Structure 1
Amino acid sequence: MRALTWHGKHDVRVETVDDPEIVNPRDAIIKVTATAICGSDLHLYDGYIPTMQAGDILGHEFMGEVVDVGPRSTLKKGQKVVVPFTIACGACYHCGKHQYSACDNGLPADNQDIAQAAYGQPMSGLFGYSHMTGGYAGGQAEYVRVPFSDVGPIVVPDDIDDEKVLFLSDILPTGWQAAEYAEIEPGDTVAVWGCGPVGLFAVQSAFLMGAERVIAIDHFPHRLELARRFGAETINFEESATYEALMEMTGGIGPDAVIDAVGLEAHGLFVDNVIDQIKASTFLGTDRIHSIRQAIIACRKGGRVSMPAVYGGFVDKFPLGAFMEKGLTMKTGQTHVQHYMPALLAAVLEGKIDTTFLISHRMPLEDAAKGYKIFHDKQNEVTKIVLKPDLAIA
């Protein structure tokens, strides 16, 4: 089959690789009909995520048709399914609490030591996202093996367009969980750093959860315009000082809740961010955390911090004193996708949530490497690239 493989920083290639096979009774094989490039895939593209190996198949947002099943799978051949990016067993302590991204059995035994050493405990497996998260082949391919297929994939109607439900695999539940973790109350003002796909879904979700005002922060004009379509007020951090603008907009109090949807590759020529970039380039640091620093400083006293953004390693200059003295609370983590999929699917089918507004580019799988470069280099024009294995090359 054809698949997009990783070979190093800014080096991804569509190559012919072995077809996946059933290796566990709970497995299923999916013929991919649509897959997407996620903003967090760019962290792999930029070489920020450790334990990647040459030839790893990328992609964690995908859906398709069931073409083969193991004897303990609950799926049936021919069904149309969306697959969550988190790989969870459904039976461990954490899955019992619907904490699927904390599953004890999502990682193969050989990979658990890596995560144990880095984070103290292993997390769930993730498709196409390094050997620290299981080394699983991803879905930017013609076919993919889906472990625990009796727990993860959700069956969707055959007649619904793929693009309306594809984002149930990751970014829609992630944006929803981000807003939920912000513990939004009626009348709240919520500030969202980053108007990429997750940030835009967090904006949409925050309004649905009762926020009175949402303030979206970014520097890409097109993304800020998309946020305004949902009713958000906006701050372009290249034109205005974010903290000062937020204080003025909230009468000096600060937002009730803040959401960091940027993560470890924060942009901007800020003093702390430049230092972070220097440290990362000289191997003295890993993540660039300007956004979460700024969110904590701007949040009102007693407020809530939600951090759906991806961070990978150790950081310094974290404003722990401000976090403690202001009495803030924070919730974060990979998304418990399986927990949110049923309700969000219903909301999409009922027309309460729109997802297709986000798609800016549709490309054949064979053009995936070009898609990564476009996404990386032109983030004002590119909001979401959907790859389709069956789409003919232009």
Structure 2
Amino acid sequence: MKHASQQRTRHRQRGASLLLMVIIAALIFFGLFSIRSPVSLRTDQESASAAVLAQAKAALIGYAATYKETHPGELAGYLPCPDTNNDGEYTPADNCGLKDVSVVGRLPWKTLGLPPLRDGDGECLWYAVSGRAKNDNKADVYNWDTPGQFIVQTPSGQVLAGATPHARPLAVIFSVGRPINGQNRSAGGGECPGSAADAAAAYLEGLGALGTGNTTVTVADAVTRGNGTNNDSALWVTSADIFGPIRKRSDFKTDVEAMLNNVATHLNTLTPLALPATSTNKGVGDPIAETAGSLAKLYLDSGVAGYNRNFFKNWSNNLLYAKLGSPVKVNGESGCYAVLVFGGERLPAQSRDPVAPSTEA
């Protein structure tokens, strides 16, 4: 009996030892495979940041494309001012700067109908908008010829966006990453870390001075990420991004045709001698300065108001006008002493002033 008892004890000991070895092996296996390399972890964080940047860009484009519906009486295309007090939206309490002055702040996620998007490091997105495209303290003229005010480059100076005026982004969205290089960020108590008093410099390393001119944005590369001098990632919004969807809207064509018809109707009230002369660039004149004797001045003085007046002021640089020496037939109608044409979108090689008409229109 004693011998049998000893055998059972040895069997239990061997069984317990085997179970312990299995547990240890499992822990080692799962432990080894759960350890991520820094490179792999960084790649995942960058992928997460890229995804929320793309989501934010799509929301901004949608906001601009539907601005006419959400803001009755306004034209489509405007971008929201940033959230400068960290409440998730732009309100009059935020500071959107003077006319034409670019502004930076957090992405106004509530205004865009988004959750508080966070990058791969858990920080909420930041956002800078050109003064010419913002929806408060608006520019005098804003259309598809309006150049943005940002030039995006690498630390070595390679231009990623904005090599030419019409290629300059209208807005830039930032993934700011974790604090580096002595940056001090308050914890805050809202949806997004930080407080209303946080300066952009506590989050952005590569944003140049903002104003009415161009601002250089330097994004991070592998070197600056490694040495801790810049870890900003960015995605930008161009004029083509904004006005591509607007151009496809049926009501945009309707607005253009209404502008042409309204101006033509006014011109038809004038005698041939009273028609304004053709300007050197065949434009209709400055709709802001309303130069005496120009078609723009005559039309705006005719009593046009509201949406039609606003549309003309913002889009009349695309109109070409010529007074003819003798009557011709235009679109099947004889006896025309002047021609009015909407030039349409510029070609890639063309450059236009958004206010003064261009001879390249």
Q: TM-score, normalised by structure 1?
A: 0.23
Higher relative contact order (CA 8 A, sep 6+): 1
Q: TM-score, normalised by structure 2?
A: 0.24
* Larger Rg, first or second structure (1 or 2): 2
